[in-house]
Amino acid sequence: MIISRTPLRISFVGGGTDIRKYYEKETGGVLSTTIDKYLYVAVKQQLDFVDYKYRINWEKTEFKNEIDEIEHPIVREALKLLEIEFPIEITTFADVPAGTGLGSSSSFAVGLLHALYALKNEHITKNELAKVAAHIEIDILKRNIGKQDHYAAAFGDVNTITFNSDGSVSVEPVFYNPEIRNELESRLLMFYTNIKRNASQILKHQIDEIDNRFETLTKMKNLIPSMREIFTNSNNLNEFGRILHEGWMLKKSLTNEISNNNINDYYQLAMDAGALGGKLLGAGGGGFLLFYAEQINHNKIRTALSNLIEMKFRFDKPGTRITYYDQLIF
């Protein structure tokens, strides 16, 4: 049995410029981090005489004898791509529900591939792992998503991720001051809006509007250097909140699908209670709200958003990893 553990992510600025329609015209970029909320994938090679060749345990349990019959799209295409022809059982667990803006589908794709390559005793770099995972979701399944989540999940920690016009991606670690990183981490709050959504559907509207919103996306990307500087050398951490707020104002102007009255009300309540900035994580429409605030105002914000669920978190460092390896040869 092989078990992989892959983190979920928070994208601070630049989201949307990782979509092909943007970076084919101008280099895209995001600054993001992974957090200590994970998606686990367990894979186990089975004996040849099992009743069904493929057993897939997710929100439902599938028993199939042909790969093409598998309903879970990422599992189906990953097994095809890696030519898994032996009997196998795949089970997935997650700390956070899917459809909440933390990149869970991409983390699943990365974690599944990591486990399957390990099961086949094949080494794969983090860069290649992210590249293959993005290929499955974007090129094969034709999902309306960008590439940032795959690379964030694979590499972990705080990174600037650049998307080039030829389709290549570079990941540059942010060499932060540990004290600044820890202080920033302690000033962030996250709340679940109780709204799930389909990122691919929301991003389709954004993709359709890219030509009309190209300048706005570029302004969002151009916030990266200022935010990156805060991680490395800053005497004014509150600038982080201001940049988050500026990025959110730009982001929600992209389409009407990104925010709504409820989300706007929650955001304003937090700002009135002392938050200096924030954003809705992921494509929009629901999921988690992230806020930056000095710790003296945290309880005020919690009171203002008392009907939402707070999720405490820390930053993650290693990215996807194999946490259990017991490979038996049949």
Q: Which of 277, 251, 174 is nearest to 17 (CA)?
A: 251
Report the C-alpha gap between 151 and 128 in whole angstroms: 9
The strand pairing partners of 189, in sequence order, are 291
Q: pLDDT value at position 235? A: 79
Structure tokens that stand for 120 in this block: 């086949």
- Residue whose structure tokens are 């894979």: 43
pLDDT band at 195 (very low <50, low <70, confident <90, very high): confident
Higher-confidence position of 208 and 100: 100
Question: ∠ CA 161-23-225 to the nearest 5 degrees?
Answer: 40
Q: Which of 153, 151, 171, 152 is nearest to 161 (CA)?
A: 171
pLDDT tens for each residue of 9-25? 999 999 999 999 999 99
DSSP 3-state percent helix, strand, coil across the chain (nearest 5): 40, 25, 35
Cβ proximity of 153 and 131 under 8 Å:
no
Average pLDDT over residues 252-272: 92
Axis-axis angle for helices 126-134, 104-119 (nearest 10): 120
* Topology match between the domains 2-174+316-325 and 178-314: no
Q: pLDDT value at position 101? A: 87
Report the C-alpha gap between 205 and 209 in whole angstroms: 6
Higher-confidence position of 106 and 285: 106
Q: pLDDT value at position 199? A: 62
Average pLDDT over residues 244-267: 92
pLDDT band at 330 (very low <50, low <70, confident <90, very high): very low
Give CATH for domain 2-174+316-325. 3.30.230.10
The strand pairing partners of 163, in sequence order, are 28, 169
Structure tokens that stand for 52 in this block: 């069904």
> What secondary structure letter does DSSP report for 287?
S
Q: Which of 253, 230, 211 is nearest to 160 (CA)?
A: 230
Domain range 178-314, its CATH number among 3.20.20.70, 3.40.50.720, 3.30.70.890, 3.40.640.10: 3.30.70.890
Q: Any idea where the domains of the chain sit in the sequence?
A: 2-174+316-325, 178-314
SS3 (DSSP) at 243: helix
DSSP character string of 172-240: EE----HHHHHHHHHTEEEEE-S----HHHHHHHHHHTGGGSHHHHHHHHTTHHHHHHHHHS-S-TTHH
For 171, phi then psi, to 5°, come to -115, 120
pLDDT band at 293 (very low <50, low <70, confident <90, very high): very high
Average pLDDT over residues 254-268: 91
Cα separation of the two ends of the chain: 12
pLDDT tens for each residue of 132-179? 999 999 999 999 999 999 999 999 999 999 999 999 999 999 999 899
Share of the chain above pLDDT 90, in %: 84
Instruction: Report which residue type is found at 132.
Output: V
This prediction's pTM = 0.95
Report the C-alpha gap between 32 and 291 in whole angstroms: 15
> What secondary structure letter does DSSP report for 324?
E
Average pLDDT, the chain: 93
